[in-house]
Amino acid sequence: MDVSLLRNKKISVIGAARSGIAVAKLLRSQGAQIFVSDKTGPDKLKAEAQTLSELGIEHELGGHSERVYECSLMVISPGVPSNAPVVVEARTRGTKVVSEVEVAGWFCRSPIVAITGSNGKTTTTTLIGRILGDAKKNHAVAGNIGTAFSSIVLELAPTDLAVLEISSFQLDHCETFRPRISAILNITQNHMDRYDHSMEKYAGAKARIFMNQAGDDVLLYNADDEWTSTIVQKAQCRRIPFSIRQALPEGAFVESGKLVTVLNGKRTEIISVDEISIKGPHNLYNAMAASMVGQLSGVGTASIRATLKNFKGVEHRQEFVREVNGVRYYNDSKATSVDAVWYALQAFDRPIVLMLGGRDKGNDYSRISDLVQKNVRAIVAMGESADKVEKALSPLKPVRKADSIDEAVLAAQRFAQTGDVVLLSPACASFDWFENYEQRGKVFKELVKNL
């Protein structure tokens, strides 16, 4: 994209939250005429409205007027579905629609490392950032992880690395986005409400991460995941797998209890699996992907090993909160899919009291039935999906419904016995009771600290 063509161009930005404001600022810095529109009312976007006003960016809140279509380009934030009426209408009128990540990519002078997957994106992206940081490699971490790519892209030098967590929503409207290294961690049932309950459509969105990669560009992928290993066959770049089930001629795998990589014909024993600080098979996959990104980026084995030993994970992802009367409490609020809970239930060697539920996204709770039967002592069902959770899992283990997060924590405490784990791992979105999963996790942690 020739960004000089953006000068004086009328551009509508849909979504006035973090990504929307960031891309609006970026585009206006290039001389574009920006109009920001959000269907959310001004009562919920007071801070955002004040920011836009202070920046002098024209905007509307509480709905999309006809003016939003008076543009030659529409940029949508990740929270705006592809089937939202405003997007459908714009495309019907022939307006080009792209994502915030696509726009930021037009300005990026540095190589991009892009991470996607149904589960583990944030942990892996954060771990890669830590590996690069510990090795004193210049980089920035952004994307779906909390810092909009648009807000940092102009600060990046050609010698830096842009490490991005990328969601399927961001990929939906990418056209030219091209990572130097991409990774697909897994593709499991998630966001079915956004993809017409079609795994094919969801997997197709994930596949867009490598659609422009070619030649020596690298695609890292989970060879143990059926959907992932299938879609990567279409890639036109270098493909490198990772697996915890089999040794590989190239890639990352486990051998004799050690994480081993073979890259460019060189075999390297990175670390003993038991020494990796973040636990569970899902985190082993994450460590494999991150280790190979580190190696491909020139980080030495000793440095990678030290980071893997010291990295404690990310907030809201199997985050240890505290121990009370011999019961350990963990915050896994970011587990917003059944498959994320499936991984979490394998990460502990103690009986689990599981706090499950929220705004359902078409979940099939039978997918965790075996692990519930094996590893769970009891379940506290929460939020809008409480009845569905109870119906699906009460034949297996005791279930108690809670009408608030406060009540849920107290119910979990009553269920738990010395030596147990209380795990908030909801499998659902948070929007029935909270603004986002971060708020849900913070409230949970505060309640646990007051037990």
* pLDDT per residue as tens digits for the range 288-326: 999 999 999 999 999 999 999 999 888 898 899 999 999
CATH class of 7-94: alpha beta
**58 CB-near residues (< 8 Å, 6+ apart):** 34, 35, 36
pLDDT value, residue 304? 98
Cα separation, 40 vs 60, in Å, equals 10
CB 417 within 8 A of CB 398: no
Band of pLDDT at residue 192, cut at 50, 70 and 90: low
More confident residue, 227 or 191: 227
Domain range annotation of the chain: 7-94, 103-310, 319-449
CB 177 within 8 A of CB 102: yes
pLDDT value, residue 196? 59
Which numeric CATH code is attached to 103-310? 3.40.1190.10
CATH 3.90.190.20 given to domain 319-449: yes
Residue 30 Cα distances to 20, 33, 427, angstroms: 16, 9, 41
Band of pLDDT at residue 347, cut at 50, 70 and 90: confident
Query: Which residue, among 304, 249, 297, has the nearest Cα to 271 in the 3D structure?
Result: 304
Cα separation, 293 vs 416, in Å, equals 40
Residue 197 has pLDDT above 70, yes or no: no
Residue 190 has pLDDT above 60, yes or no: no
* Average pLDDT of span 419-436: 94
More confident residue, 2 or 224: 224
Token pair 């060697």 is found at 349
pLDDT value, residue 194? 61
Q: What is the 3-state secondary structure (H, E, C) of 286-337?
A: HHHHHHHHHHHCCCCHHHHHHHHHHCCCCCCCCEEEEEECCEEEEECCCCCC
Express each pLDDT in 121-180 by its tens digit. 999 999 999 999 999 999 999 998 889 999 999 999 999 999 999 988 899 899 999 999
Residue 339 Cα distances to 87, 117, 365, 367, 426, angstroms: 30, 11, 9, 8, 11
pLDDT value, residue 314? 84
DSSP 73: E
For the chain, the average pLDDT equals 94
Token pair 């505060």 is found at 446
